């Protein structure tokens, strides 16, 4: 095989790749476009010629043939915030979103698929829908679980392949790939937290829940309360919060003021638990001697806590990678039926309980 470097600063052409590989231009095109009919040895020769000549395929022209953009959107849909800054601040500081991005990117990169991150709230859903409708991406990984969020239904109606990061908060209108989702067994995680606190001898238990208009917030709350009621320890005091440090701190102060005899606390996210620990210690309680605390997520926030946080681990990176795999299957075969994948949580014991 001989290679012909570009002359006069011009980019190598497909014809030069074909000459270097000793095949036709049509064969080079089939290799570039991923046609399955090309012999493996021929494919290897052409790929070597592409590398040696430095040829870069014309992505725009290729997309006209394949009707693929080789891009996937990670759409993060959050409820309205008082100001856009606080909305974006949570998107880029909450460890959960970073872990989702990392897991999805790791799964997509070997397939040469790019991830486009789109944070949104209801004020600019129309812009997101317009972007998706214009064919800039082949599919959507959608982080949305709020009960009144209309975006899942809007994406569903576009007919674009999509996978949700959690069980849908409300049913969609017809079966499609948009109804596929990946989640963790939220209620099991809450039961694991309850059993661990009971095993430590805690009997005056309470919980700080996430928003109850999303399935994860409601499932963690009900899983914890129902399990304890079945053990004869209900009703369990609960305060609904917002998955933020500040929300966890405020909620813990309220719980300890209203129920000063608490000796065990389940907090439905590590970020909230970090704030709750600050409040507990500021109010003169020792952790875990006076009050044991269990979080949920096993995110980096659990290791920022003092003492280190005992928590329920959901394998977010693996879940995001599975979302990407399910989405790629839907992109390759648009007629596939929706698929749900449920991961199992585990208890991670550290110093707070």
DSSP states of 260-291 = TT--EEEESSHHHHHHHHHHHHHTT--TTTT-
Q: Looking at the structure, do residues 287 and 211 belong to the same domain, yes or no?
A: yes
- pLDDT per residue over 193-236, tens digit each? 999 999 999 999 999 999 988 889 999 999 999 999 999 987 89
pTM attached to this predicted model? 0.75
Buried/exposed 22-41: b ≥16 CB within 10 Å, e otherwise: ebeeebbbbbbeeeeebeee
The contacts of residue 104 (CB under 8 Å, 6+ apart) are 72, 74, 115, 141, 320, 321, 323, 324
Q: Do the domain assignments include residue 118? A: yes
pLDDT of residue 67: 60
Q: Are residues 262 and 321 in the same domain?
A: no
Say what the pLDDT of residue 64 is: 45
The answer to the question of residue 3 being in a domain is: no
Per-residue model confidence as pLDDT tens digits over 83-120: 444 556 666 677 888 899 999 999 998 888 899 998 88
Do 247 and 298 lie in one domain? The reply is yes
Identify whether residues 190 and 307 lie together within a single domain: yes
pLDDT profile of the chain (353 residues), mean per 10: 48 86 87 75 88 72 58 83 54 81 91 88 81 88 81 84 83 52 95 97 95 90 95 91 92 96 96 96 94 95 94 95 93 84 96 94
- The half-sphere exposure of 130 on its side-chain side, counting CA atoms within 13 A, is 5
- β-pairing, 310-313 vs 346-348, is antiparallel
Does residue 175 sit in the same domain as residue 250?
no
- Number of neighbours of residue 315 by Cβ within 10 angstroms: 17
In a domain, 6, yes or no: no
Residue 152 placed within a domain = yes
Cα(202)–Cα(187) distance, integer angstroms: 20
Asked whether residue 1 is assigned to any structural domain, the reply reads no
Domain that holds residue 59: 14-66
Domain assignment of residue 215, yes or no: yes
**Total count of residues recorded for the chain:** 353
Q: What is the pLDDT of residue 269?
A: 95
Non-local CB neighbours of 2 within 8 Å, separated by 6+ positions: 19, 20
The CB density around residue 167, as the number of other CB atoms within 10 Å, is 17
Does residue 351 fall inside a structural domain? no
The predicted pLDDT at position 333 comes to 83
Assess whether 138 and 243 both reside in one domain. no
283 CB-contact burial (10 Å; exposed 0-12 / middle 13-18 / buried 19+): middle
Residue 18: which CATH number? 1.10.260.40
- Could you tell me if residue 232 is left (phi over 0), alpha (psi between -120 and 50 degrees) or otherwise beta? left
Contact 275, 249 (CB under 8 A): yes
Say if residue 172 is in the same domain as residue 60: no
Output the domain CATH number for residue 307: 3.40.50.2300
Question: Do 211 and 164 share a structural domain?
Answer: no
Residue 88 lies in a domain: yes
């Amino acid at each position: 095989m001989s290679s012909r470097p570009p002359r006069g600063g011009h980019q190598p052409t497909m014809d030069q790749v074909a000459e270097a590989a000793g095949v036709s231009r049509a064969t080079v095109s089939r290799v570039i476009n991923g046609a399955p009919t090309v012999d493996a040895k021929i494919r290897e020769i052409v790929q070597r010629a592409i590398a040696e000549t430095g040829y870069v395929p014309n992505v725009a022209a290729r997309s006209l043939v394949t009707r693929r953009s080789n891009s996937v959107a990670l759409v993060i849909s959050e409820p309205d915030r008082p100001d856009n800054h606080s909305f974006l601040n949570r998107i880029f500081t909450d460890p959960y979103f970073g872990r989702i991005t990392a897991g999805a990117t790791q799964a997509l990169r070997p397939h040469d698929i790019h991830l486009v991150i789109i944070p949104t709230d209801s004020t600019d859903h129309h812009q997101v829908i317009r972007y998706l409708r214009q064919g800039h991406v082949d599919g959507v990984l959608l982080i949305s679980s709020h009960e009144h969020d209309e975006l899942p239904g809007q994406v569903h109606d576009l007919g674009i392949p999509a996978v949700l990061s959690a069980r849908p908060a409300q049913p969609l209108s017809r079966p499609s790939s948009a109804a596929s989702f990946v989640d963790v067994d939220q209620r099991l995680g809450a039961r694991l937290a309850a059993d661990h606190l009971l095993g430590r001898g805690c009997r005056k238990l309470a919980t700080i829940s996430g928003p109850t208009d999303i399935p994860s917030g409601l499932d963690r709350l009900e899983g914890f309360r129902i399990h304890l009621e079945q053990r004869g320890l209900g009703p369990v005091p609960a305060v609904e919060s917002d998955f933020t440090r500040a929300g966890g701190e405020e909620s813990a102060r309220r719980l300890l003021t209203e129920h000063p005899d608490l000796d065990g606390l389940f907090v439905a996210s590590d970020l909230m638990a970090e704030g709750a620990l600050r409040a507990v210690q500021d109010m003169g309680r020792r952790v875990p001697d006076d009050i044991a605390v269990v979080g949920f997520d096993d995110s980096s926030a659990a290791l920022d806590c003092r003492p280190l946080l005992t928590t329920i681990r959901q394998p977010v990176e693996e879940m995001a990678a599975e979302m990407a795999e399910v989405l790629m299957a839907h992109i390759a075969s648009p007629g596939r039926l929706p698929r749900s994948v449920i991961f199992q949580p585990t208890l991670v014991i550290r110093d707070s309980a």
